[in-house]
């Protein structure tokens, strides 16, 4: 398989692998594994925002965070992923982390659904700032009764992305839910994180995206050629996803200033030019294969969760297809884009994901997907359609004729019921595989563990089990 994009050599020299050993010192917004500190709730900033223009990207260059220059070609693994894994705590006592992302210089940023953006830099984890209008999404503490319906529903501060030229361009992007006069809405914004009060520099790039207590999508990431990608949910209205004049239930491809690239697909008269694909229910994971192919993970109705390969102008069926037909019957003889994975009656509840290219033996060149309701890590091997699937006898195979014509897949469950709800999966610059929990959102299910644990929520490093 050919590779078009490369990782910058800078990242190969960054010493991020020992975060847990480096994170010392005072922090009321999170703590290291050695010095747990309860997270305190913060209120949203009330200052009036003033616009700070986003410096434009004037040249195209390969992204540094998603692609690896160690080899000019990549091949899928030929054996199943390792079964014996352990986790090492990196950061503890954070409040419903939604996105964990690294900047090109190695700074680590974390969004908390209650409204804070945290930044690890220069040997400390600090509260960078709070977005000002985020809906109330309070976190459940250890010993509290949360139920599955926590404050704020599924909304709050969610997606987070760092400008590709950070820190030269010290801009961080975020998506959050806010209460408008006619109900919840979602907003894409950016901030200058070097300002004395970053919240005052909030610049709104897209406003009024339909929102709800559920199905807000909101994953953002920079992809090939420095386009900014964003997923949106259907805001609990199926018809939104089929409407090309509506930003809900879609994947957007944007310039860094939030405008539409000139080569975006055309969905017809009156369609929104920022759309790249439509027909999505609640896509919350976004990553790229080494050749630049875009993949999204998507929550389905009562199971039927999907991994989809994005094709410009594609319609993925939600809002047109009957929900009960999100299967062979619905896709066969239809014009809808076909899923790489459709879980059928089984529920993954797939949020964040990463196509892992690091050196962790057995995980390299695999798609690693979090699991909320399934409370596990889903390790997915993709192969060209018709090729042998490694570990097919021990995993779940997705190779039906009505599925994606380019790839077959096999999935293996790992860390099942060991750490709770896994919200995000991230590859660190040193190649470490990190996951974050979402156990303080009131929806963790367990008869054996009293979630949330005293040190939740956590960012964890996944490592091979010691012999």
The model's pLDDT over 361-387, given as tens digits with 9 standing for 90+, comes to: 899 999 999 999 999 999 999 999 999
Band (51; pLDDT cuts 50, 70, 90): very low
Asked if the structure places residue 1 within a domain, the reply is no
Per-residue pLDDT, 287: 97
Residue 69 has pLDDT above 50, yes or no: no
The model's pLDDT over 21-31, given as tens digits with 9 standing for 90+, comes to: 332 233 334 65
Asked if the structure places residue 420 within a domain, the reply is yes
Residue 8 has pLDDT above 70, yes or no: no
Asked if the structure places residue 401 within a domain, the reply is yes
Backbone conformation region of residue 83, classed left if phi is above 0, alpha if psi is from -120 to 50, else beta:
alpha
Asked if the structure places residue 374 within a domain, the reply is yes
Residue 32 has pLDDT above 60, yes or no: no
The C-alpha atoms of residue 370 and residue 307 are separated, in whole angstroms, by 12
Q: Judge contact between 115 and 134, C-beta under 8 A.
A: yes
Asked which of 222-226, 230-234, 262-266, 404-408 is least confident by mean pLDDT, the reply is 222-226
Band (126; pLDDT cuts 50, 70, 90): confident
The domain that holds 60 is classified in CATH as: 2.120.10.30
Residue 308 has pLDDT above 70, yes or no: yes
Asked which of 70-79, 110-119, 255-264 is least confident by mean pLDDT, the reply is 70-79
Average pLDDT over residues 57-81: 57
Residue 55 has pLDDT above 60, yes or no: no
The C-alpha atoms of residue 412 and residue 82 are separated, in whole angstroms, by 10
The C-alpha atoms of residue 168 and residue 54 are separated, in whole angstroms, by 12
Range of the domain at 76: 9-464
| 24 compared with 330, residue with greater pLDDT | 330
Q: Judge contact between 353 and 297, C-beta under 8 A.
A: yes
Per-residue pLDDT, 6: 27
Asked if the structure places residue 4 within a domain, the reply is no
Instruction: Tell me which residue of 5, 10, 17, 115 sits closest to 67, measured CA to CA.
Output: 5
**Residues forming beta bridges with residue 172, ordered by sequence position:** 162, 191
Asked if the structure places residue 311 within a domain, the reply is yes
Task: Kindly tell me the sign of the dihedral angle through the C-alpha atoms of 282, 373, 153, 193.
Answer: negative
State phi, psi for 303 to the nearest 5 degrees: 95, -150
Q: What is the mean pLDDT of the chain?
A: 85
Instruction: Tell me which residue of 420, 159, 409, 126 sits closest to 283, measured CA to CA.
Output: 159
pTM for the model stands at: 0.86
CB-CB neighbours of 447 under 10 Å: 5
What's the structural domain count of the chain? 1
Place of tokens 């929990």: 437
Place of tokens 């979602």: 186
Asked if the structure places residue 223 within a domain, the reply is yes
Asked if the structure places residue 30 within a domain, the reply is yes
């Amino acid at each position: 398989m050919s590779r078009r994009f490369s990782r910058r050599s800078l990242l190969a020299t960054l010493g991020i692998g020992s975060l847990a050993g480096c994170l010392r010192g005072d922090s009321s917004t999170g703590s290291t594994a050695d010095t747990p500190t309860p997270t305190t709730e913060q209120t949203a900033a009330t200052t009036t925002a003033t616009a700070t223009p986003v410096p434009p990207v004037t040249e195209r260059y390969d992204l540094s965070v998603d692609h690896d220059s160690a080899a000019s070609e990549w091949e899928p693994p030929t054996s199943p992923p390792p079964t014996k894994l352990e986790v090492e705590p990196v950061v503890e006592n954070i409040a419903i982390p939604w996105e964990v992302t690294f900047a090109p210089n190695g700074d680590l940023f974390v969004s908390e659904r209650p409204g804070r953006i945290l930044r690890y830099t220069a040997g400390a984890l600090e509260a960078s700032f709070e977005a000002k209008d985020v809906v109330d999404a309070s976190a459940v503490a250890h010993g509290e009764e949360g139920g599955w319906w926590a404050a704020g529903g599924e909304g709050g501060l969610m997606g987070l992305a760092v400008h590709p030229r950070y820190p030269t361009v010290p801009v961080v992007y975020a998506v959050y839910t806010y209460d408008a006069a006619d109900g919840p809405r979602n907003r894409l914004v950016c901030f200058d994180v070097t300002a004395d009060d970053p919240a005052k520099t909030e610049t709104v790039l897209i406003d009024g995206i339909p929102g709800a207590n559920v199905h807000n999508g909101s994953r953002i990431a920079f992809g090939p050629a420095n386009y900014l990608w964003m997923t949106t949910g259907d805001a609990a209205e199926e018809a939104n996803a089929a409407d090309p004049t509506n930003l809900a239930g879609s994947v957007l491809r944007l310039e860094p200033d939030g405008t539409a690239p000139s080569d975006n697909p055309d969905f017809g008269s009156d369609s929104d030019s920022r759309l790249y694909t439509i027909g999505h229910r609640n896509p919350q994971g976004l990553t790229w294969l080494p050749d630049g192919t875009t993949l999204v993970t998507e929550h389905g109705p009562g199971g039927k969760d999907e991994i989809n390969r994005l094709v410009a102008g594609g319609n993925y069926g939600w809002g047109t297809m009957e929900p009960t037909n999100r299967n062979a019957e619905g896709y066969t003889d239809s014009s809808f884009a076909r899923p790489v994975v459709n879980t059928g009656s089984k529920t993954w509840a797939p949020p964040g994901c990463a196509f892992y290219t690091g050196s962790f033996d057995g995980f390299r060149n695999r798609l690693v997907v979090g699991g909320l309701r399934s409370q596990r890590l889903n390790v997915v091997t993709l192969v060209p359609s018709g090729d042998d699937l490694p570990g097919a006898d021990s995993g779940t195979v997705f190779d039906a004729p009505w599925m994606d014509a380019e790839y077959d897949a096999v999935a293996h469950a790992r860390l099942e019921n060991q750490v709770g709800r896994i919200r995000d999966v991230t590859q660190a610059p040193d190649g470490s595989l990190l996951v974050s929990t979402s156990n303080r959102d009131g929806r963790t299910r367990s008869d054996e563990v009293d979630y949330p644990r005293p040190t939740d929520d956590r960012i964890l490093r996944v490592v091979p089990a010691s012999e």
